Structure 1
Amino acid sequence: MPTSPRKARVLIAHGKAKIDSYRPFTIQLCIATGESRQDLTLGVDAGYATIGFSVIDSTKELFACEIELLKGQVERNNKRRIYRRQRRSRLRYRKARFEKQNKPEGWLAPSIQHKLDTHIKFIHRLQSIMPITETIIEVAAFDIQKIKANGEIEGKEYQEGEQLGFWNLREYILHRDNHKCQHLDCKNKAKSPILEVHHIGFWKKDRTNRPGNLITLCTKCHTAPRHKKNGSLYGWEPKVKTFKPATFMSMIRWKLVNALQCDHTYGHITKHNRIRLDLPKTHFNDAFCIANGQHQTRAIPVFFQQKRKNNRCLEKFYDAKVLDIRTNKIVSGNDLNNGRRTRNKNLNGENLRKYRGLKKSKGRRQVRRQRYSIRPHDIVEFDGSIYKAVGVQNKGTYLKITNGVKTVVKNIKHVKTIFHQKTLMYVSR
């Protein structure tokens, strides 16, 4: 475990194993092998946009992957609500359901619940095909409970080797500032500038380590002359922003840990271990460090992208294309509108219709009248080459396909379907 492709073919041919799944390709033995098995540790780098996974044992890494989560879920939920309201408004009478509008305890917004369910679903999938005995999840980049208003870093913390308290607070500040120098006159042109944490109130003897008093600066901006009375940092009091991804993880972290009954860790510990192992910043490398990986033989990571299963939109509108006489470029008709906003208030903008030149294409409405067997991102074959489906045209007669270099439109009868992409789509990198 894992076995080689040759050994898997032999076991299946002799009836000693059967195919359990194709992605990832998994076989299940049909013969008794005793109770001996390997104990595996799963590390999960939980996140708002991307999840990293790593499964290791004492000698090697068996599986590593990244999943890019679905984007725009809030907009899709809004469209679903609109469709439901339109459908219900067509009823002659609908009984009031006010007693069912109360949200239960522990309720999450649908967009956040969707991301939480994706975490749990894929973890359960890995646990079903591998004998994972321990699961460790990184629930946040920092432990916000340990960030104190007037906390100080004292000698004992520096003597602990990892300096966990310092790394926790420092990681929060760097993530909040997007790992960039926040000085307005920064002229550091280095590709990878060295960043430091600056006390904003240093000039007025405010040396507290509260997040509102800390900001990210590079080494060229964070110098001693700039701290003096005539320096640019003296009297400088910028407004610091909040950290929204941490808020998201704070909402779901304990729900995730409690649902899986697993251990958890924080990002500042992961970062310290990654630096100690000299690994680049990736989600699967973070998951490897979360699983307490040391010097195991690494696996080749695979990448997945979550895609929607169904498009609820049945009608699309394509705007007309016109020539902008100012720039001689083809733009959308809406870009050169008359500027009218409302009837009752004078909020109209500039009338740009006078800049419309020759009309290049008319506007049109496209209505989907049926479901098609081939959907976007499905893998198809044409003339011995592999393509990815883009979309169906002319009521299912033609199919637009691409191989990453060129895009062509072919008769759907001449195209052979190889694989239907599911919710998690494999992405080659």
Structure 2
Amino acid sequence: MTQNRVLVLDKNRQPLMPCHPARARELLRKGKAAVFRRHPFTIILKDREGGEVQQIRIKLDPGSKETGMALVAHFARRGPTVIWAGELTHQGAAIRKALEQRRAHRRFRRAKLRYRAPRFDNRTRREGWLPPSLQHRVDTTMTWVERLLRWAPVSALSQELVRFDTQALQNPESSGAEYQQGTLQGYEVREYLLEKWGRKCAYCGAENVSLEIDHIHPRSKGGSDRVSNLTLACRPCNQRKANRDVAEFLEKDPKRLARIEAQRKATLKDAAAVNSTRWALWRGLVAIGLPVEVGTGGRTKWNRHRQNYPKAHWIDAACVGESGGAVRLDADHRPLAIRAMGHGERQQARLNRYGFPVGHKAGAKRFLGFQTGDIVRAVIPAGKYAGTFLGRIAIRFRPSFSFVPSADGKVFDVHPKHLTLLQRSDGYVYTQ
């Protein structure tokens, strides 16, 4: 199973070409390099200054829950090759839940307390404002782009700019773009329909089966090719429906018919919401000053299918855009799993179920030189958990920390005197 290349810095902390893990182990063993960072694993050379590098491109596949990342090096012999990959898991859902809970507590308190005169709503939002749960996705992705720019000699960027081209979906007969007239048009429509109809048959609810595109109102009776008239059906349902209208086909199942009619009229607001975060990310990438290549989700899927690669976020990232049409990768490559955890919380008091404070949090974030999220080595000399472990800690303001080993994830308590700090908390949890 292929591993990520090790990121390399020279003695002035300038990025060099990533090296094979075996080469990194040799440099560390000979004392020519030192560990600069554990996740992603990065070494710093002690004597070397500068060096020849190849072109490296950061490729991104932004998603609602996860974002795929890949570093693709352009080698003279092998061509574009994935040398590093990661999958970033966002916490947008947790942010949204916390904000909704805060809003509910505020409303309940105001209903129970004295009357307060209504205020004039004169608050304005800046141009390009996004809800916190969406802005979080943009910020965390940009954080990792900036980190990779510091640790690898990146010369270009690629991003899946829109999941679906809404103009092509609404007007499939429009001309002027290659994919609207050729092979890519079908991929653009199929990708949207899979998301809209939940990747299951609209007529029987079958999942994990081959699905076909079906016209709700058949073309033989005047139905159009607009995406609002298309759905997904398994082959048996598609054959039974034949050229009948959906109302005739489901006349004995009025509930399912009503659901299909409601879902077919759904707007493209979901696609627009996802696209809005991608546009915000695109503006951040352009501001970096490097060339930025963009592509659609349909093009990404087309590239992946042409090269017979399996579905994965990091593989989608490698296949983004025109440069993803011919990229070498190992399907068994182990990407670095990155999960956003945040840098603590802004809440200063613990609340009861009515939203009133019942206790205040400690103001300090560190205790005995450690803070929650630090990656440490625990050397426990005796007892039930005797041994050496690597993992993540959660501090308490007493000499007993909660320790989560990265090997099995079984939580136990450990005294801070047995801990050695390896990497400061940076708001993320890593799994290789």
TM-score w.r.t. the length of structure 2 is 0.70
- Alpha-carbon distance change, 203 to 78 in structure 1, aligned in 2, over 3 angstroms: closer
Q: Quote the Cα distance in structure 2 between the aligned partners of 1:41 and 1:171.
A: 26
Of 212-221 and 227-236, the range deviating more from structure 2: 227-236
- Alpha-carbon distance change, 413 to 19 in structure 1, aligned in 2, over 3 angstroms: closer
Task: State the 1:267 CA deviation.
Answer: 0.6
One-letter code aligned to 1:286: D
Q: Quote the Cα distance in structure 2 between the aligned partners of 1:176 and 1:233.
A: 20
Asked whether 1:108 is paired with 2:127, we answer: no
- Other structure's SS at 2:304 match: helix
Correspondence for 2:300:
270
Of 13-22 and 23-32, the range deviating more from structure 2: 13-22
Among the aligned pairs, what percent are the same residue?
25
Q: Quote the Cα distance in structure 2 between the aligned partners of 1:146 and 1:304.
A: 34
- Alpha-carbon distance change, 228 to 25 in structure 1, aligned in 2, over 3 angstroms: closer
Larger Rg: 1
Asked whether 1:289 is paired with 2:305, we answer: no
Q: Show the 5 A alignment for 1:21-420.
A: 21-27=37-43, 31-32=48-49, 36-56=52-72, 57-58=74-75, 59=78, 60-71=81-92, 72-77=94-99, 101-149=123-171, 151=173, 160=182, 163-183=183-203, 185-186=204-205, 188=206, 192-202=208-218, 205-224=221-240, 226-228=242-244, 232=249, 238-240=261-263, 241-242=266-267, 245-261=270-286, 262-290=292-320, 291-292=323-324, 294=326, 296-298=328-330, 299-313=333-347, 316=350, 368-369=361-362, 371=365, 372=367, 373-375=370-372, 378-381=375-378, 382=380, 383-386=386-389, 388=391, 391-392=394-395, 395-403=397-405, 404=408, 406-413=410-417, 417-420=421-424
Task: State the 1:399 CA deviation.
Answer: 3.1
One-letter code aligned to 2:334: I
- Other structure's SS at 1:304 match: strand
Q: Quote the Cα distance in structure 1 between the aligned partners of 2:328 and 2:426.
A: 32
Contact 2:168 2:180 in 1 (8 A): no
- Other structure's SS at 2:236 match: coil
One-letter code aligned to 1:300: R
One-letter code aligned to 2:42: T
Q: Which sections of structure 2, spanning at least 5 residues, go unmatched?
A: 1-16, 108-118, 287-291, 381-385
Q: How many residues align?
A: 363
- Other structure's SS at 1:173 match: helix
Task: State the 1:226 CA deviation.
Answer: 4.7
Q: Which sections of structure 1, spanning at least 5 residues, go unmatched?
A: 86-96, 320-333, 335-364
Q: Quote the Cα distance in structure 1 between the aligned partners of 2:235 and 2:281.
A: 39
Contact 2:318 2:327 in 1 (8 A): no
Contact 1:176 1:243 in 2 (8 A): no
Q: Quote the Cα distance in structure 2 between the aligned partners of 1:66 and 1:173.
A: 25
Q: Quote the Cα distance in structure 2 between the aligned partners of 1:264 and 1:215.
A: 28
Q: Quote the Cα distance in structure 2 between the aligned partners of 1:139 and 1:205.
A: 37
Contact 2:374 2:423 in 1 (8 A): no
RMSD: 4.0
- Other structure's SS at 2:345 match: coil
Correspondence for 2:427:
423
Contact 1:374 1:417 in 2 (8 A): no
Contact 2:37 2:423 in 1 (8 A): no
Q: Quote the Cα distance in structure 2 between the aligned partners of 1:135 and 1:306.
A: 22
Task: State the 1:158 CA deviation.
Answer: 9.5
Task: State the 1:74 CA deviation.
Answer: 2.6
Correspondence for 2:14:
none
Task: State the 1:286 CA deviation.
Answer: 0.4
Correspondence for 2:116:
none
Task: State the 1:239 CA deviation.
Answer: 1.9
- Alpha-carbon distance change, 247 to 396 in structure 1, aligned in 2, over 3 angstroms: farther
Contact 2:340 2:429 in 1 (8 A): yes
Q: Quote the Cα distance in structure 2 between the aligned partners of 1:397 and 1:129.
A: 36
Task: State the 1:268 CA deviation.
Answer: 0.6
Q: Quote the Cα distance in structure 2 between the aligned partners of 1:266 and 1:422.
A: 32
Contact 2:184 2:299 in 1 (8 A): yes
One-letter code aligned to 1:306: A
